[in-house]
Structure 1
Amino acid sequence: MFTYQVDEEVQLKLMELNDAEELFALTDSSREYLREFLRWVDGTTGKEDTQAFIQSGLQHFADNKSLTTAILYRGKIAGVIGFHEINWHNKSASIGYWLGENHQGKGIMSRSVKALTSYGFDRLDLNRIEIRAAAENVKSRAIPEKLGFTKEGCIRQAEWLYDHFVDHVVYGMLAAEWPHQYKKNS
């Protein structure tokens, strides 16, 4: 079982099927908040949908394709973070994340992204890590900006979100750049 201790309050943990109820409750309690920028929210209508998400994440982890973890804050699930498809040939991955509405403003996501980025460079030997966020998603974009990721550009109309397209801002970090940034933001 994969776990990664971020600090005394935050831990990343590979989810298990018995986490479905707690994760679904978090999703459901933050539904309107999350829906603004996450298109999967409307399709998550019950614990069974969350179980399917967890099962898919476990299979992709077993196949060495991705890593999807729960963010535990003081022992309770506060959100999700992970590497979307890991491209082993190019030594690159993309980080995706979300946090329940009641867990905002505590630095949980900044600490989690910093830890996962370090894990990717130090343990997985990645060369490039990317984060994409909707241009209007100021909170999500603040994370890579705070951690020193380079804003590389904007992909116009990158995602269909319910009834309109949204642009994605792309941020990148290279392994050679990370040690400096890691020390700077510690």
Structure 2
Amino acid sequence: MVKLEVSCGLSVKLLDISDAQTLFSLVEANRSYLKEWLPWLDLTNSHLDSEAFIQSTHQQYHDGLGIMGGIYSNNSLVGMCGYHPIDKINRCANIGYWIAEKSQGQGIATRCVAYLVDYAFTELQLEQVSLSIAEHNYKSQAIATRLGLGRKDIKRDAEYLYDHFVNHICYSVSRTNWLDRKVID
């Protein structure tokens, strides 16, 4: 089992097929909340859809394209985060995540994203990490800002959310900037 220890009681773990029902239940309990920012909810209608997703995360990991895992807080699944497949040629990755509504405001997403950025640079030897965030998703933008990722540009009509397009703001940080800042911190 692949498990990244983010901090005491907080980890990112590659899910097992046996986690499909738990994942589906978490998605179902947060469906209306998540639907504001995530386009895939209408494609997740049973634990079988969660099984297929988990299988795709295993394939991504085994292909060397990074982990997309469950966020566990005190051994409870509270969300997902990881790399939208790593671009090996350009040595970069985009990080994606979501967290259950009841688990917000505890620094969980911030700590997981910070860990994945650091892991990308120190373990995977990537050169750049990005976050692509919906223009009005202020909570996710605050995470990027808090972690010191620079605002790069705006992608117009970057994502279709059920009945409308949304713009995305792109944030990024280079390996050098991240590691230099860590030394100062």
TM-score normalised per structure 2: 0.96
Give deviations 1:103-138, integer Å, cap 9, x for gaps.
Answer: 011000000000011111000000000100100111
Distance 1:138 1:184 in 2: 27
SS in 2 for 1:162: coil
Distance 2:183 2:13 in 1: 25
Distance 1:89 1:167 in 2: 27
Distance 1:107 1:182 in 2: 19
Structure 2 gaps of 5+ residues are none
User: What is the aligned partner in structure 2 of residue 24 from structure 1?
Assistant: 24
Say whether 1:132 aligns with 2:132: yes
Question: In the TM superposition, what are the counterparts of 1:169-180 in structure 2 within 5 Å?
Answer: 169-180=169-180
After TM superposition, the runs of 4+ consecutive aligned structure 1 residues lying more than 4 A away are: none
TM-score normalised per structure 1: 0.96
Question: In the TM superposition, what are the counterparts of 1:4-23 in structure 2 within 5 Å?
Answer: 4-23=4-23
User: What is the aligned partner in structure 1 of residue 86 from structure 2?
Assistant: 86
Give deviations 1:29-57, integer Å, cap 9, x for gaps.
Answer: 00000000101012111101111100011
**Amino acid in the other structure paired with 1:108:** I
**Amino acid in the other structure paired with 1:2:** V
Distance 2:153 2:109 in 1: 22
User: What is the aligned partner in structure 1 of residue 160 from structure 2?
Assistant: 160
| CA RMSD in angstroms, aligned pairs only | 1.2
- Figure out how many residues of one structure are paired with residues of the other and give that number: 185
Distance 1:100 1:184 in 2: 33
SS in 2 for 1:168: strand
SS in 2 for 1:86: strand
Structure 1 gaps of 5+ residues are none
